[in-house]
Structure 1
Protein backbone atom coordinates (compact mmCIF):
# COMPACT_ATOMS: atom_id res chain seq x y z
CA UNK A 1 0.00 0.00 0.00
CA UNK A 2 1.23 3.46 -0.88
CA UNK A 3 2.19 5.73 2.00
CA UNK A 4 -0.08 8.70 2.52
CA UNK A 5 1.69 11.93 1.53
CA UNK A 6 -1.09 14.22 2.77
CA UNK A 7 -3.21 14.58 5.85
CA UNK A 8 -6.61 15.13 4.29
CA UNK A 9 -9.59 13.00 5.21
CA UNK A 10 -12.52 12.13 3.01
CA UNK A 11 -16.12 11.60 3.96
CA UNK A 12 -17.77 9.43 1.31
CA UNK A 13 -21.57 9.08 1.20
CA UNK A 14 -23.09 6.41 -1.02
CA UNK A 15 -21.43 2.98 -1.09
CA UNK A 16 -23.20 1.43 -4.01
CA UNK A 17 -21.82 -0.31 -7.09
CA UNK A 18 -19.53 2.59 -7.97
CA UNK A 19 -18.93 4.16 -4.56
CA UNK A 20 -17.63 0.92 -3.08
CA UNK A 21 -15.01 0.57 -5.81
CA UNK A 22 -13.95 4.21 -5.50
CA UNK A 23 -13.52 3.90 -1.73
CA UNK A 24 -11.56 0.64 -1.96
CA UNK A 25 -9.21 2.26 -4.45
CA UNK A 26 -8.67 5.30 -2.23
CA UNK A 27 -8.04 3.18 0.85
CA UNK A 28 -5.37 1.23 -1.01
CA UNK A 29 -3.74 4.50 -2.01
CA UNK A 30 -3.44 5.61 1.60
CA UNK A 31 -6.40 7.94 2.02
CA UNK A 32 -8.31 8.08 5.28
CA UNK A 33 -11.97 7.52 4.38
CA UNK A 34 -15.11 7.64 6.50
CA UNK A 35 -18.16 6.11 4.83
CA UNK A 36 -21.90 6.48 5.18
CA UNK A 37 -24.78 4.65 3.51
CA UNK A 38 -28.41 4.12 4.48
CA UNK A 39 -28.08 0.37 3.73
CA UNK A 40 -25.81 -1.03 6.44
CA UNK A 41 -24.63 -4.19 4.67
CA UNK A 42 -23.21 -2.14 1.79
CA UNK A 43 -20.50 -1.02 4.18
CA UNK A 44 -19.12 -4.47 4.98
CA UNK A 45 -16.42 -4.60 2.31
CA UNK A 46 -15.11 -1.09 2.80
CA UNK A 47 -15.14 -1.51 6.58
CA UNK A 48 -13.05 -4.67 6.22
CA UNK A 49 -10.63 -2.73 4.01
CA UNK A 50 -10.09 -0.07 6.67
CA UNK A 51 -12.77 2.56 6.19
CA UNK A 52 -14.29 4.19 9.27
CA UNK A 53 -18.08 3.81 9.34
CA UNK A 54 -20.04 6.97 10.17
CA UNK A 55 -23.37 6.74 11.93
CA UNK A 56 -24.72 9.94 10.37
CA UNK A 57 -23.63 13.14 8.61
CA UNK A 58 -22.41 14.68 11.85
CA UNK A 59 -19.54 12.17 11.88
CA UNK A 60 -18.12 13.44 8.58
CA UNK A 61 -19.10 17.10 8.57
CA UNK A 62 -15.58 18.24 9.53
CA UNK A 63 -13.72 16.20 6.89
CA UNK A 64 -11.67 18.23 4.42
CA UNK A 65 -13.45 16.70 1.44
CA UNK A 66 -16.93 15.20 1.35
CA UNK A 67 -17.87 13.16 -1.72
CA UNK A 68 -21.40 12.11 -2.65
CA UNK A 69 -22.17 9.13 -4.86
CA UNK A 70 -25.84 8.71 -3.99
CA UNK A 71 -28.60 7.75 -6.45
CA UNK A 72 -30.33 10.96 -7.50
CA UNK A 73 -31.09 14.66 -7.11
CA UNK A 74 -33.41 14.14 -4.16
CA UNK A 75 -30.76 12.25 -2.19
CA UNK A 76 -28.04 14.78 -3.04
CA UNK A 77 -30.26 17.74 -2.15
CA UNK A 78 -31.40 16.19 1.14
CA UNK A 79 -27.82 15.45 2.21
CA UNK A 80 -26.59 18.87 1.15
CA UNK A 81 -29.47 21.17 2.07
CA UNK A 82 -31.78 19.20 4.36
CA UNK A 83 -32.53 20.16 7.98
CA UNK A 84 -29.51 18.17 9.20
CA UNK A 85 -27.61 18.62 5.94
CA UNK A 86 -24.06 19.66 5.22
CA UNK A 87 -24.61 23.29 4.30
CA UNK A 88 -25.02 24.50 7.86
CA UNK A 89 -21.94 22.66 9.08
CA UNK A 90 -19.21 22.94 6.44
CA UNK A 91 -16.48 25.59 6.65
CA UNK A 92 -14.67 27.62 3.95
CA UNK A 93 -11.62 25.31 3.95
CA UNK A 94 -13.78 22.31 3.00
CA UNK A 95 -14.93 21.00 -0.38
CA UNK A 96 -18.09 19.19 -1.45
CA UNK A 97 -17.73 16.91 -4.48
CA UNK A 98 -20.83 15.44 -6.13
CA UNK A 99 -20.07 12.36 -8.22
CA UNK A 100 -23.76 11.53 -8.64
CA UNK A 101 -25.47 12.08 -11.98
CA UNK A 102 -27.80 14.99 -11.28
CA UNK A 103 -29.57 17.72 -13.19
CA UNK A 104 -27.41 20.68 -14.25
CA UNK A 105 -29.85 23.02 -12.49
CA UNK A 106 -29.39 21.09 -9.24
CA UNK A 107 -25.62 21.46 -9.52
CA UNK A 108 -26.00 25.19 -10.16
CA UNK A 109 -28.27 25.58 -7.13
CA UNK A 110 -25.84 23.72 -4.86
CA UNK A 111 -22.89 25.72 -6.16
CA UNK A 112 -24.74 28.95 -5.39
CA UNK A 113 -25.69 27.85 -1.87
CA UNK A 114 -22.31 26.43 -0.88
CA UNK A 115 -20.43 29.22 -2.63
CA UNK A 116 -22.31 31.76 -0.52
CA UNK A 117 -21.00 29.91 2.55
CA UNK A 118 -17.46 29.94 1.17
CA UNK A 119 -17.39 26.18 0.60
CA UNK A 120 -15.90 24.89 -2.67
CA UNK A 121 -18.44 22.92 -4.71
CA UNK A 122 -17.50 20.56 -7.53
CA UNK A 123 -19.97 19.03 -9.95
CA UNK A 124 -17.93 15.94 -10.87
CA UNK A 125 -19.92 13.02 -12.30
CA UNK A 126 -17.91 10.00 -13.37
CA UNK A 127 -17.84 7.48 -16.18
CA UNK A 128 -15.99 4.20 -16.29
CA UNK A 129 -17.92 1.65 -14.27
CA UNK A 130 -16.95 -0.26 -11.16
CA UNK A 131 -13.95 -2.06 -12.67
CA UNK A 132 -12.25 1.16 -13.74
CA UNK A 133 -13.24 2.83 -10.47
CA UNK A 134 -11.47 0.05 -8.58
CA UNK A 135 -8.27 0.77 -10.53
CA UNK A 136 -8.53 4.56 -10.24
CA UNK A 137 -9.06 4.92 -13.98
CA UNK A 138 -12.35 6.79 -14.20
CA UNK A 139 -13.20 9.76 -16.37
CA UNK A 140 -14.27 12.80 -14.35
CA UNK A 141 -16.46 15.42 -16.03
CA UNK A 142 -15.96 18.48 -13.86
CA UNK A 143 -17.96 21.66 -13.50
CA UNK A 144 -16.17 23.90 -10.99
CA UNK A 145 -14.06 27.00 -10.63
CA UNK A 146 -10.42 26.60 -11.61
CA UNK A 147 -9.42 27.18 -7.99
CA UNK A 148 -11.73 24.46 -6.68
CA UNK A 149 -10.49 22.01 -9.29
CA UNK A 150 -6.83 22.77 -8.54
CA UNK A 151 -7.43 22.05 -4.86
CA UNK A 152 -8.66 18.56 -5.77
CA UNK A 153 -5.64 17.64 -7.91
CA UNK A 154 -4.17 15.07 -5.48
CA UNK A 155 -7.53 13.34 -5.00
CA UNK A 156 -8.71 13.38 -8.59
CA UNK A 157 -5.37 12.09 -9.90
CA UNK A 158 -5.93 8.92 -7.86
CA UNK A 159 -9.58 8.52 -8.82
CA UNK A 160 -9.32 9.16 -12.55
CA UNK A 161 -6.99 8.96 -15.52
CA UNK A 162 -8.98 11.65 -17.34
CA UNK A 163 -10.11 14.79 -15.51
CA UNK A 164 -11.89 17.09 -17.94
CA UNK A 165 -12.74 20.62 -16.83
CA UNK A 166 -15.88 21.60 -18.71
CA UNK A 167 -16.77 24.91 -17.09
CA UNK A 168 -18.69 26.10 -14.06
CA UNK A 169 -20.93 23.85 -11.92
CA UNK A 170 -23.68 22.39 -14.08
CA UNK A 171 -21.35 21.80 -17.01
CA UNK A 172 -20.17 18.47 -15.62
CA UNK A 173 -23.71 17.21 -15.11
CA UNK A 174 -24.82 18.40 -18.54
CA UNK A 175 -21.92 16.58 -20.20
CA UNK A 176 -22.55 13.40 -18.21
CA UNK A 177 -26.20 13.35 -19.28
CA UNK A 178 -25.15 13.97 -22.88
CA UNK A 179 -22.69 11.08 -22.64
CA UNK A 180 -25.41 8.81 -21.26
CA UNK A 181 -27.74 9.79 -24.07
CA UNK A 182 -25.11 8.91 -26.70
CA UNK A 183 -24.31 5.58 -25.03
CA UNK A 184 -27.90 4.54 -24.44
CA UNK A 185 -28.85 5.49 -27.99
CA UNK A 186 -26.18 3.05 -29.19
CA UNK A 187 -27.39 0.42 -26.71
CA UNK A 188 -30.98 0.60 -27.95
CA UNK A 189 -29.75 0.37 -31.53
CA UNK A 190 -27.62 -2.65 -30.63
CA UNK A 191 -30.58 -4.49 -29.11
CA UNK A 192 -32.65 -3.92 -32.25
CA UNK A 193 -29.75 -4.83 -34.55
CA UNK A 194 -29.10 -8.09 -32.74
CA UNK A 195 -32.80 -8.95 -32.84
CA UNK A 196 -32.81 -8.41 -36.59
CA UNK A 197 -29.74 -10.60 -37.08
CA UNK A 198 -31.18 -13.30 -34.80
CA UNK A 199 -34.38 -13.41 -36.87
CA UNK A 200 -32.22 -14.69 -39.74
CA UNK A 201 -30.37 -17.27 -37.66
CA UNK A 202 -27.28 -15.24 -36.80
CA UNK A 203 -25.86 -15.93 -33.34
CA UNK A 204 -25.45 -12.90 -31.08
CA UNK A 205 -21.73 -13.51 -30.65
CA UNK A 206 -21.20 -13.80 -34.42
CA UNK A 207 -23.08 -10.59 -35.14
CA UNK A 208 -21.10 -8.74 -32.47
CA UNK A 209 -17.84 -10.00 -33.98
CA UNK A 210 -18.89 -8.66 -37.37
CA UNK A 211 -19.89 -5.30 -35.91
CA UNK A 212 -16.55 -4.92 -34.07
CA UNK A 213 -14.61 -4.45 -37.31
CA UNK A 214 -17.35 -2.70 -39.25
CA UNK A 215 -18.99 0.70 -39.33
CA UNK A 216 -21.47 -0.48 -36.68
CA UNK A 217 -18.68 -0.75 -34.09
CA UNK A 218 -19.62 0.82 -30.73
CA UNK A 219 -18.47 0.65 -27.13
CA UNK A 220 -21.67 -1.14 -26.15
CA UNK A 221 -21.10 -3.79 -28.81
CA UNK A 222 -17.49 -4.38 -27.78
CA UNK A 223 -18.56 -4.66 -24.14
CA UNK A 224 -21.76 -6.60 -24.67
CA UNK A 225 -22.77 -8.14 -21.37
CA UNK A 226 -21.62 -5.13 -19.34
CA UNK A 227 -25.16 -4.05 -18.54
CA UNK A 228 -26.14 -7.60 -17.64
CA UNK A 229 -23.41 -7.50 -14.98
CA UNK A 230 -24.45 -4.04 -13.77
CA UNK A 231 -28.10 -5.09 -13.54
CA UNK A 232 -27.10 -8.17 -11.55
CA UNK A 233 -25.13 -6.00 -9.14
CA UNK A 234 -28.08 -3.63 -8.76
CA UNK A 235 -30.27 -6.65 -8.04
CA UNK A 236 -27.78 -7.74 -5.37
CA UNK A 237 -27.86 -4.36 -3.65
CA UNK A 238 -31.61 -3.86 -4.03
CA UNK A 239 -31.42 -0.81 -6.30
CA UNK A 240 -34.87 -0.08 -7.79
CA UNK A 241 -35.12 -0.17 -11.58
CA UNK A 242 -36.15 3.48 -11.59
CA UNK A 243 -32.82 4.42 -9.97
CA UNK A 244 -30.70 2.58 -12.54
CA UNK A 245 -28.88 4.69 -15.17
CA UNK A 246 -30.86 3.38 -18.15
CA UNK A 247 -33.99 4.69 -16.41
CA UNK A 248 -32.93 7.64 -14.25
CA UNK A 249 -30.25 9.20 -16.46
CA UNK A 250 -32.41 9.15 -19.57
CA UNK A 251 -35.29 10.75 -17.69
CA UNK A 252 -32.93 13.42 -16.38
CA UNK A 253 -31.59 14.07 -19.89
CA UNK A 254 -35.14 14.80 -21.02
CA UNK A 255 -35.73 17.05 -17.99
CA UNK A 256 -32.48 18.94 -18.58
CA UNK A 257 -33.34 19.42 -22.25
CA UNK A 258 -36.79 20.70 -21.36
CA UNK A 259 -35.26 23.18 -18.92
CA UNK A 260 -32.89 24.40 -21.64
CA UNK A 261 -35.67 24.39 -24.28
CA UNK A 262 -33.80 21.85 -26.41
CA UNK A 263 -35.71 19.24 -28.36
CA UNK A 264 -34.66 15.63 -27.66
CA UNK A 265 -37.40 13.45 -29.14
CA UNK A 266 -35.14 10.40 -29.44
CA UNK A 267 -34.23 10.64 -25.75
CA UNK A 268 -37.92 10.79 -24.86
CA UNK A 269 -38.54 7.62 -26.89
CA UNK A 270 -35.61 5.87 -25.21
CA UNK A 271 -37.04 6.53 -21.76
CA UNK A 272 -40.00 4.38 -22.78
CA UNK A 273 -38.10 1.61 -24.57
CA UNK A 274 -34.66 1.07 -23.14
CA UNK A 275 -35.28 0.11 -19.49
CA UNK A 276 -37.38 -2.85 -20.56
CA UNK A 277 -34.80 -3.97 -23.12
CA UNK A 278 -31.93 -3.84 -20.63
CA UNK A 279 -33.78 -5.56 -17.79
CA UNK A 280 -35.19 -8.29 -20.02
CA UNK A 281 -31.81 -9.07 -21.56
CA UNK A 282 -30.17 -9.14 -18.13
CA UNK A 283 -32.77 -11.60 -16.87
CA UNK A 284 -32.03 -14.00 -19.71
CA UNK A 285 -28.29 -13.50 -19.99
CA UNK A 286 -26.37 -16.75 -20.18
CA UNK A 287 -22.89 -15.22 -20.03
CA UNK A 288 -20.98 -12.59 -18.11
CA UNK A 289 -18.12 -10.49 -19.44
CA UNK A 290 -15.55 -8.57 -17.45
CA UNK A 291 -15.22 -5.24 -19.21
CA UNK A 292 -13.07 -2.19 -19.41
CA UNK A 293 -15.91 0.13 -20.18
CA UNK A 294 -17.82 3.08 -18.85
CA UNK A 295 -21.23 4.00 -17.31
CA UNK A 296 -22.59 5.82 -14.09
CA UNK A 297 -23.06 5.05 -10.49
Structure 2
Protein backbone atom coordinates (compact mmCIF):
# COMPACT_ATOMS: atom_id res chain seq x y z
CA UNK A 1 0.00 0.00 0.00
CA UNK A 2 1.29 3.42 -0.98
CA UNK A 3 0.29 6.64 0.77
CA UNK A 4 -0.95 8.97 -1.95
CA UNK A 5 -2.02 12.60 -2.02
CA UNK A 6 -4.45 13.40 -4.84
CA UNK A 7 -5.27 17.02 -5.66
CA UNK A 8 -8.02 17.76 -8.15
CA UNK A 9 -10.89 15.22 -8.17
CA UNK A 10 -12.62 16.69 -11.22
CA UNK A 11 -14.29 14.91 -14.11
CA UNK A 12 -11.04 13.08 -14.88
CA UNK A 13 -9.38 13.18 -11.47
CA UNK A 14 -12.29 11.66 -9.54
CA UNK A 15 -12.24 8.26 -11.31
CA UNK A 16 -8.44 8.27 -11.37
CA UNK A 17 -8.34 8.68 -7.59
CA UNK A 18 -11.12 6.11 -7.18
CA UNK A 19 -9.10 3.55 -9.13
CA UNK A 20 -6.11 4.11 -6.83
CA UNK A 21 -8.38 3.57 -3.83
CA UNK A 22 -9.81 0.40 -5.40
CA UNK A 23 -6.26 -0.88 -5.90
CA UNK A 24 -5.78 -0.80 -2.13
CA UNK A 25 -3.79 2.40 -1.65
CA UNK A 26 -4.22 4.99 1.12
CA UNK A 27 -5.43 7.98 -0.91
CA UNK A 28 -5.97 11.42 0.63
CA UNK A 29 -8.06 13.54 -1.73
CA UNK A 30 -8.30 17.32 -1.74
CA UNK A 31 -10.80 19.34 -3.75
CA UNK A 32 -10.77 23.14 -3.65
CA UNK A 33 -14.46 23.85 -4.33
CA UNK A 34 -17.64 22.44 -2.78
CA UNK A 35 -18.35 20.58 -6.02
CA UNK A 36 -14.84 19.14 -6.11
CA UNK A 37 -15.11 18.14 -2.47
CA UNK A 38 -18.33 16.26 -3.24
CA UNK A 39 -16.51 14.41 -6.00
CA UNK A 40 -13.72 13.64 -3.54
CA UNK A 41 -16.24 12.00 -1.23
CA UNK A 42 -17.25 9.62 -4.02
CA UNK A 43 -13.71 8.34 -4.60
CA UNK A 44 -13.73 6.22 -1.45
CA UNK A 45 -10.53 7.92 -0.31
CA UNK A 46 -9.94 10.08 2.74
CA UNK A 47 -11.21 13.60 2.07
CA UNK A 48 -8.89 16.25 3.55
CA UNK A 49 -9.29 19.97 4.07
CA UNK A 50 -6.07 21.29 2.56
CA UNK A 51 -3.27 20.60 0.14
CA UNK A 52 -0.93 20.31 3.11
CA UNK A 53 -3.10 17.56 4.62
CA UNK A 54 -3.10 15.68 1.30
CA UNK A 55 0.68 15.87 0.95
CA UNK A 56 1.89 15.35 4.52
CA UNK A 57 3.51 11.92 4.77
CA UNK A 58 2.59 10.96 1.20
CA UNK A 59 4.97 8.82 -0.84
CA UNK A 60 3.54 10.19 -4.09
CA UNK A 61 1.34 13.20 -4.83
CA UNK A 62 -0.78 13.41 -7.98
CA UNK A 63 -2.21 16.69 -9.28
CA UNK A 64 -5.00 16.84 -11.86
CA UNK A 65 -6.01 20.48 -12.27
CA UNK A 66 -7.67 22.47 -15.10
CA UNK A 67 -4.89 24.80 -16.23
CA UNK A 68 -1.38 26.12 -15.69
CA UNK A 69 -2.20 28.90 -13.21
CA UNK A 70 -4.15 26.44 -11.04
CA UNK A 71 -1.24 23.98 -11.09
CA UNK A 72 1.38 26.63 -10.27
CA UNK A 73 -0.74 28.00 -7.43
CA UNK A 74 -1.30 24.53 -5.96
CA UNK A 75 2.33 23.48 -6.36
CA UNK A 76 4.22 26.63 -5.40
CA UNK A 77 1.80 28.35 -2.99
CA UNK A 78 2.73 29.04 0.63
CA UNK A 79 0.95 25.90 1.85
CA UNK A 80 1.17 24.16 -1.50
CA UNK A 81 2.50 20.86 -2.69
CA UNK A 82 6.21 21.71 -2.71
CA UNK A 83 6.08 23.19 0.78
CA UNK A 84 4.17 20.20 2.13
CA UNK A 85 5.87 17.14 0.65
CA UNK A 86 8.73 15.21 2.21
CA UNK A 87 12.06 15.62 0.37
CA UNK A 88 12.81 12.69 -1.91
CA UNK A 89 9.17 11.85 -2.60
CA UNK A 90 7.51 12.06 -6.01
CA UNK A 91 5.18 14.65 -7.55
CA UNK A 92 3.27 13.57 -10.67
CA UNK A 93 1.33 16.26 -12.50
CA UNK A 94 -1.40 14.80 -14.72
CA UNK A 95 -2.76 18.23 -15.69
CA UNK A 96 -2.57 19.55 -19.24
CA UNK A 97 -0.52 22.74 -19.14
CA UNK A 98 1.99 24.57 -21.34
CA UNK A 99 5.46 22.99 -21.59
CA UNK A 100 6.99 26.17 -20.10
CA UNK A 101 4.62 25.95 -17.12
CA UNK A 102 5.55 22.31 -16.68
CA UNK A 103 9.24 23.20 -16.60
CA UNK A 104 8.46 25.70 -13.83
CA UNK A 105 6.80 22.90 -11.84
CA UNK A 106 9.85 20.67 -12.35
CA UNK A 107 12.16 23.49 -11.23
CA UNK A 108 10.14 24.19 -8.08
CA UNK A 109 10.13 20.50 -7.23
CA UNK A 110 13.88 20.14 -7.78
CA UNK A 111 14.58 23.13 -5.54
CA UNK A 112 12.70 21.36 -2.74
CA UNK A 113 14.54 18.07 -3.39
CA UNK A 114 11.44 16.42 -4.83
CA UNK A 115 11.34 14.17 -7.86
CA UNK A 116 8.83 15.21 -10.52
CA UNK A 117 7.11 13.85 -13.60
CA UNK A 118 4.78 15.60 -16.04
CA UNK A 119 2.30 12.93 -17.04
CA UNK A 120 -0.74 14.31 -18.89
CA UNK A 121 -3.38 11.82 -19.91
CA UNK A 122 -5.67 11.09 -22.85
CA UNK A 123 -8.79 8.96 -23.05
CA UNK A 124 -11.54 11.16 -21.67
CA UNK A 125 -13.80 10.44 -18.74
CA UNK A 126 -14.59 6.94 -20.03
CA UNK A 127 -10.89 6.08 -20.16
CA UNK A 128 -10.41 7.43 -16.65
CA UNK A 129 -13.31 5.37 -15.30
CA UNK A 130 -12.05 2.22 -17.02
CA UNK A 131 -8.44 2.76 -15.94
CA UNK A 132 -7.52 2.72 -19.62
CA UNK A 133 -5.94 6.14 -20.07
CA UNK A 134 -2.92 6.81 -22.25
CA UNK A 135 -0.29 8.49 -20.08
CA UNK A 136 2.62 10.36 -21.69
CA UNK A 137 5.44 10.93 -19.21
CA UNK A 138 8.21 13.50 -19.21
CA UNK A 139 11.03 13.43 -16.68
CA UNK A 140 13.44 10.95 -15.16
CA UNK A 141 13.11 7.33 -16.32
CA UNK A 142 14.09 5.90 -12.91
CA UNK A 143 11.37 7.95 -11.21
CA UNK A 144 8.85 6.65 -13.71
CA UNK A 145 10.00 3.09 -13.05
CA UNK A 146 9.36 3.63 -9.33
CA UNK A 147 5.77 4.84 -9.76
CA UNK A 148 4.84 2.92 -12.91
CA UNK A 149 2.68 0.42 -11.02
CA UNK A 150 0.54 3.31 -9.73
CA UNK A 151 0.20 4.86 -13.18
CA UNK A 152 -0.81 1.48 -14.58
CA UNK A 153 -3.77 1.45 -12.19
CA UNK A 154 -5.05 4.51 -14.05
CA UNK A 155 -3.75 3.90 -17.56
CA UNK A 156 -3.41 1.06 -20.03
CA UNK A 157 -0.60 2.82 -21.93
CA UNK A 158 2.21 4.43 -19.93
CA UNK A 159 5.10 5.69 -22.08
CA UNK A 160 8.20 7.71 -21.25
CA UNK A 161 8.44 10.37 -23.97
CA UNK A 162 11.52 12.35 -22.92
CA UNK A 163 12.92 15.01 -20.62
CA UNK A 164 10.90 17.26 -18.28
CA UNK A 165 8.11 19.00 -20.19
CA UNK A 166 8.05 16.40 -22.96
CA UNK A 167 4.81 14.89 -21.71
CA UNK A 168 3.11 18.24 -22.23
CA UNK A 169 4.50 18.56 -25.76
CA UNK A 170 3.08 15.14 -26.67
CA UNK A 171 -0.24 15.99 -25.00
CA UNK A 172 -0.48 19.18 -27.06
CA UNK A 173 -0.05 17.09 -30.21
CA UNK A 174 -2.69 14.69 -28.90
CA UNK A 175 -5.21 17.48 -28.36
CA UNK A 176 -4.62 18.78 -31.87
CA UNK A 177 -5.21 15.33 -33.36
CA UNK A 178 -8.33 14.72 -31.28
CA UNK A 179 -9.82 18.04 -32.40
CA UNK A 180 -9.09 17.16 -36.00
CA UNK A 181 -10.69 13.72 -35.67
CA UNK A 182 -13.78 15.25 -34.05
CA UNK A 183 -14.17 17.85 -36.78
CA UNK A 184 -13.76 15.31 -39.58
CA UNK A 185 -16.29 13.01 -37.93
CA UNK A 186 -18.70 15.94 -37.60
CA UNK A 187 -18.29 16.91 -41.24
CA UNK A 188 -18.60 13.29 -42.40
CA UNK A 189 -21.94 13.03 -40.56
CA UNK A 190 -23.21 16.22 -42.23
CA UNK A 191 -22.10 14.82 -45.60
CA UNK A 192 -23.80 11.48 -44.92
CA UNK A 193 -27.02 13.16 -43.77
CA UNK A 194 -27.15 15.32 -46.87
CA UNK A 195 -27.10 12.16 -48.98
CA UNK A 196 -29.69 10.26 -46.94
CA UNK A 197 -27.32 7.59 -45.64
CA UNK A 198 -28.17 5.37 -42.66
CA UNK A 199 -25.91 7.07 -40.12
CA UNK A 200 -25.36 4.22 -37.58
CA UNK A 201 -24.65 1.70 -40.33
CA UNK A 202 -22.39 4.13 -42.14
CA UNK A 203 -20.36 4.70 -38.96
CA UNK A 204 -20.16 0.94 -38.42
CA UNK A 205 -18.50 0.39 -41.76
CA UNK A 206 -16.29 3.47 -41.49
CA UNK A 207 -15.17 2.35 -38.05
CA UNK A 208 -14.12 -1.02 -39.44
CA UNK A 209 -11.79 0.51 -42.02
CA UNK A 210 -8.92 2.96 -42.16
CA UNK A 211 -11.24 5.80 -41.08
CA UNK A 212 -11.84 4.07 -37.75
CA UNK A 213 -10.56 5.77 -34.60
CA UNK A 214 -11.04 5.91 -30.85
CA UNK A 215 -12.78 9.26 -31.41
CA UNK A 216 -15.34 7.61 -33.70
CA UNK A 217 -15.87 4.77 -31.23
CA UNK A 218 -16.27 6.97 -28.15
CA UNK A 219 -18.06 10.00 -29.64
CA UNK A 220 -20.46 8.50 -32.19
CA UNK A 221 -23.30 8.12 -29.68
CA UNK A 222 -23.02 11.74 -28.52
CA UNK A 223 -23.08 13.01 -32.07
CA UNK A 224 -25.91 10.76 -33.23
CA UNK A 225 -28.12 11.70 -30.28
CA UNK A 226 -26.98 15.27 -29.76
CA UNK A 227 -26.23 14.57 -26.10
CA UNK A 228 -23.20 16.76 -25.43
CA UNK A 229 -23.01 16.13 -21.69
CA UNK A 230 -19.35 16.86 -21.04
CA UNK A 231 -16.77 14.16 -20.77
CA UNK A 232 -14.23 16.75 -21.88
CA UNK A 233 -15.48 20.32 -22.05
CA UNK A 234 -15.07 22.62 -25.04
CA UNK A 235 -13.60 25.25 -22.69
CA UNK A 236 -10.75 22.89 -21.79
CA UNK A 237 -10.11 21.88 -25.39
CA UNK A 238 -10.03 25.57 -26.31
CA UNK A 239 -7.44 26.10 -23.58
CA UNK A 240 -5.39 23.16 -24.84
CA UNK A 241 -5.41 24.41 -28.43
CA UNK A 242 -4.22 27.76 -27.10
CA UNK A 243 -1.21 25.89 -25.70
CA UNK A 244 -0.66 24.33 -29.13
CA UNK A 245 -0.92 27.69 -30.90
CA UNK A 246 1.55 29.30 -28.49
CA UNK A 247 4.02 26.46 -29.01
CA UNK A 248 3.58 26.64 -32.80
CA UNK A 249 4.42 30.36 -32.78
CA UNK A 250 7.33 29.77 -30.42
CA UNK A 251 8.94 27.38 -32.94
CA UNK A 252 8.05 29.47 -35.99
CA UNK A 253 6.03 26.63 -37.51
CA UNK A 254 3.40 26.87 -40.24
CA UNK A 255 0.53 24.48 -39.43
CA UNK A 256 -2.55 25.86 -41.21
CA UNK A 257 -5.01 23.14 -40.12
CA UNK A 258 -3.98 23.78 -36.51
CA UNK A 259 -5.12 27.39 -36.80
CA UNK A 260 -8.41 26.31 -38.36
CA UNK A 261 -9.13 23.81 -35.58
CA UNK A 262 -8.36 26.41 -32.93
CA UNK A 263 -10.86 28.78 -34.56
CA UNK A 264 -13.59 26.12 -34.83
CA UNK A 265 -13.31 25.08 -31.19
CA UNK A 266 -13.26 28.74 -30.15
CA UNK A 267 -16.40 29.29 -32.23
CA UNK A 268 -18.31 26.62 -30.31
CA UNK A 269 -17.21 28.25 -27.06
CA UNK A 270 -18.19 31.74 -28.31
CA UNK A 271 -21.68 30.44 -29.18
CA UNK A 272 -22.27 29.49 -25.55
CA UNK A 273 -20.93 25.94 -25.74
CA UNK A 274 -18.04 26.25 -23.27
CA UNK A 275 -19.60 23.70 -20.92
CA UNK A 276 -20.51 21.18 -23.63
CA UNK A 277 -18.53 18.10 -24.61
CA UNK A 278 -16.07 18.69 -27.45
CA UNK A 279 -18.28 16.47 -29.62
CA UNK A 280 -20.40 19.64 -29.89
CA UNK A 281 -18.24 20.47 -32.91
CA UNK A 282 -20.93 18.48 -34.70
CA UNK A 283 -23.51 21.05 -33.65
CA UNK A 284 -21.42 23.79 -35.23
CA UNK A 285 -20.99 21.77 -38.44
CA UNK A 286 -24.77 21.35 -38.63
CA UNK A 287 -25.40 25.03 -37.93
CA UNK A 288 -23.03 26.09 -40.70
CA UNK A 289 -25.20 24.06 -43.07
CA UNK A 290 -28.54 25.28 -41.76
CA UNK A 291 -29.30 21.98 -39.99
CA UNK A 292 -30.15 20.83 -36.48
CA UNK A 293 -29.71 17.51 -34.69
CA UNK A 294 -33.47 16.98 -34.76
CA UNK A 295 -33.93 17.67 -38.50
TM-score (norm 1): 0.82
Can you list the C-alpha shifts for 1:203-245, whole angstroms capped at 9, x where unaligned?
43233123223443333223333666994146xxxx9742x22
- SS of equivalent residue, structure 1 residue 20: helix
Aligned length in residues: 274
- SS of equivalent residue, structure 2 residue 158: strand
1:111 equivalent in alignment to 2:106: yes
Can you list the C-alpha shifts for 1:132-188, whole angstroms capped at 9, x where unaligned?
323322221000112221221331232222210011111111111111211211111
Tell me the residue number matched to 1:155: 150
Q: Which has the bigger relative contact order, CA under 8 A and spacing at least 6?
A: 1
What does residue range 35-46 of structure 1 map to in structure 2 within 5 Å?
Answer: 35-44=29-38, 46=40
- SS of equivalent residue, structure 1 residue 232: coil
State the alpha-carbon separation in 2 of the partners of residues 126 and 226 from structure 1.
Answer: 23
Tell me the residue number matched to 2:11: 17
State the alpha-carbon separation in 2 of the partners of residues 139 and 189 from structure 1.
Answer: 22
Q: How far did 1:202 drift?
A: 2.0
Deviates more, 1:221-230 or 1:103-112: 221-230
2:20 maps to which of 26, 29, 34: 26
Deviates more, 1:156-165 or 1:71-80: 156-165
Q: How far did 1:273 drift?
A: 0.8
Q: How far did 1:260 drift?
A: 2.8
Q: Contact 2:14–2:43 at 8 Å: present in 1 too?
A: no
1:278 equivalent in alignment to 2:282: no
Q: Which residues of structure 1 form unaligned runs of 5+?
A: 1-5, 287-297
Q: Contact 1:231–1:282 at 8 Å: present in 2 too?
A: no
What does residue range 21-170 of structure 1 map to in structure 2 within 5 Å?
Answer: 21-44=15-38, 46-62=40-56, 63-170=58-165
Q: Contact 2:182–2:281 at 8 Å: present in 1 too?
A: no
Q: CA RMSD in A?
A: 2.6
TM-score (norm 2): 0.83
- SS of equivalent residue, structure 1 residue 176: helix
- SS of equivalent residue, structure 1 residue 161: strand
Distance 1:232 1:51, change over 3 A: same
Distance 1:178 1:227, change over 3 A: farther
Q: How far did 1:46 drift?
A: 4.2
Q: How far did 1:270 drift?
A: 0.7
Q: Contact 2:134–2:157 at 8 Å: present in 1 too?
A: yes
- SS of equivalent residue, structure 1 residue 267: helix
